Structure 1
Amino acid sequence: MKIWLVILFIFLGTFNALAQTHKLLFKTNKGNFKVLLYDFTPKHQQLILNAVKNKMYHDALFNRVIENFVVQGGAHDVDIAEQEKALQPSKRYRLPAEFDSRAFHKMGALGAGRDENDAKASFLNQIYFVVGKIVTNEELNALELKKGIKFSENQREIYLKNGGLPRLDNDYTVFGEVYEGLEVLLKISKVQANEKDYPLEKIIFEITEI
Structure 2
Amino acid sequence: MRWILPLILLSGCGKNPEELAVIETELGSMIIRFYEDSAPKHVESFKILAGEGYFDGTAFHRVMPEFVIQGGDPNSKDSDRINDGEGGRAGKFYGIGARETSATWMLPAEFNDRPHSRGALSMARGPNSDSAGSQFFICVQPVNRLDGQYTVFGQVVRGLDVVDKIVNVETPGMLDSGYSGADIDNPLEPVRMRVYLTTDEALGIELADDL
Normalised by the shorter chain, which TM-score bucket? 0.5 to 0.7
Secondary structure, counterpart of 2:66 in structure 1: coil
Runs of 4+ aligned structure 1 residues displaced above 3 Å come to 18-21, 76-84, 89-93
Superposed, which structure 2 residues align to 1:1-210 within 5 Å?
21-40=18-37, 41-75=39-73, 78-79=83-84, 81=86, 92-101=104-113, 103-117=114-128, 120-132=129-141, 164-195=142-173, 196-210=184-198
Which structure shows the bigger proportion of residues in helix conformation?
1
Identical aligned residues as a percent: 31
Secondary structure, counterpart of 2:138 in structure 1: strand
Distance 2:97 2:26 in 1: 38
Distance 2:35 2:87 in 1: 31
**Distance 1:20-1:176 versus aligned 2 partners, 3 A rule:** farther
Aligned length: 157
**Distance 1:62-1:20 versus aligned 2 partners, 3 A rule:** farther
- Asked if 2 retains the 8 angstrom alpha-carbon contact of 1:35 and 1:177, the reply is yes
- Asked if 1 retains the 8 angstrom alpha-carbon contact of 2:72 and 2:88, the reply is no
Please provide the CA RMSD for this pair: 2.8
- Asked if 1 retains the 8 angstrom alpha-carbon contact of 2:49 and 2:55, the reply is yes
TM-score, normalization by structure 1? 0.67
**Ranges in structure 2 where 5+ consecutive residues have no aligned partner:** 1-10, 76-81, 90-95, 99-103, 174-183, 199-211
- Asked if 1 retains the 8 angstrom alpha-carbon contact of 2:21 and 2:32, the reply is yes
Secondary structure, counterpart of 1:24 in structure 2: strand
Secondary structure, counterpart of 2:61 in structure 1: strand
TM-score, normalization by structure 2? 0.67
- Asked if 1 retains the 8 angstrom alpha-carbon contact of 2:24 and 2:194, the reply is yes
- Asked if 1 retains the 8 angstrom alpha-carbon contact of 2:97 and 2:106, the reply is no
| 1:27-84 deviation per Cα after TM superposition (whole angstroms, max 9, x unaligned) | 1010111010111111000001000111101111111111111100022694564899
- Asked if 2 retains the 8 angstrom alpha-carbon contact of 1:122 and 1:173, the reply is no
Give the match for residue 4 of structure 2. Answer: none
* Deviation of the 1:121 alpha carbon: 2.0
